[in-house]
Structure 1
């Protein structure tokens, strides 16, 4: 890995990290440079499309990072384990950050405006990827494809919503309750096939 590539990757990771806590509009290039330790002028070199380009790449990075955990959990064939994998990371982020951090994909999504539709598209692609990965694992466990797709969408939506509730209440119980119900629902779907 070259120094330039390393610097670029650090900036993308830093942007994702900062979006989790500060949101898209609350994070500037100066913040990303300070957090990543990258040379000041390099951000404009690596992201000629500006903050929108950086945000798109940070959203993709965050999406792929979490998707890799879901895929690994799905290898065991237990859909409830995939729910745990999807949620476990968020739970850790919430606790470690003192409930200041949430999902960088959701943070960018809620701030998307008509003038930056590419951010909404990047976020939608990540949510779709998570849903597809979960749906594939659920289908591989024997749940019919149509139901697997609906359950996958429910899992993503419920976890994202529970994450917001956790931040508002400064407590992980909303996430824990949602996870318990989602795991029971996925187990029942496997039994009912």
Structure 2
């Protein structure tokens, strides 16, 4: 039995997201996505009438939602330090499991020129904003001011993403391990200084 069209579409999006994380936007072609996903060639323009740009954009949205889910799951922990530590651990584990070949699909799009295809860059910006908001909400709940929560959330995301890039280059977890320790200490101090809310 042949796969349903919706299955083909989903496989192409998840395949494109995986390829973005490993090869960057320049390394994502329709042929490569088809080979990776096993989707039929005829379904590409049926599901993605704007072609490669639409496919990459939807892959960025998918990856952004997936990582937001990871963050939101980690943020369910009532201890904000353990929650942020858990987010670093999730990325560390992904790097090790992927033999340091797997990076963040959203970063892969964000670092490339947006002139030719602005939609994926806008989707990347929206993903970063969503991740930061989730972290800022957690910190705000634990006594930090709104402004400090926003700044620290941006710093945490920048630290994780920068560490992931460095880990891939070095083929080592040392950068993310170092970032995790420093962020933990910084947040511990900030939360202790804020004191209990109420």
Compute the TM-score of the two structures, normalised by the length of structure 2: 0.92
Q: Name the residue aligned to 2:6.
A: 5
Residue 121, structure 1, aligned to residue 122, structure 2: yes
Distance 2:172 2:20 in 1: 21
Please list, as runs of the form range in 1=range in 2, the aligned pairs for 1:36-185 lying within 5 A after superposition: 36-185=37-186
Whole-angstrom distance in 2 between the partners of 1:41 and 1:111 = 29
Say what the alpha-carbon RMSD is for the aligned residues. 1.4
The whole-number CA distance in structure 2 between the counterparts of 1:149 and 1:113 is: 26
After alignment, is 43-52 or 109-118 more displaced? 109-118
What is the CA-CA distance between 1:93 and the residue it aligns to? 2.3
Structure 2 residue ranges without an equivalent (≥5): none
Pairs aligned (count): 192
**Does the 8 Å CA contact 1:79/1:187 hold for their aligned counterparts?**
no
Max radius of gyration: which structure? 2
For residues 92 and 32 of structure 2, the distance between their equivalents in structure 1, rounded to whole angstroms, comes to: 25
Report the Cα offset of residue 169 of structure 1.
Answer: 0.9
Counterparts of 2:49 and 2:89, CA distance in 1 = 35
Q: Matched residue of 1:41: which SS?
A: helix
TM-score of the pair, normalised by structure 1? 0.94
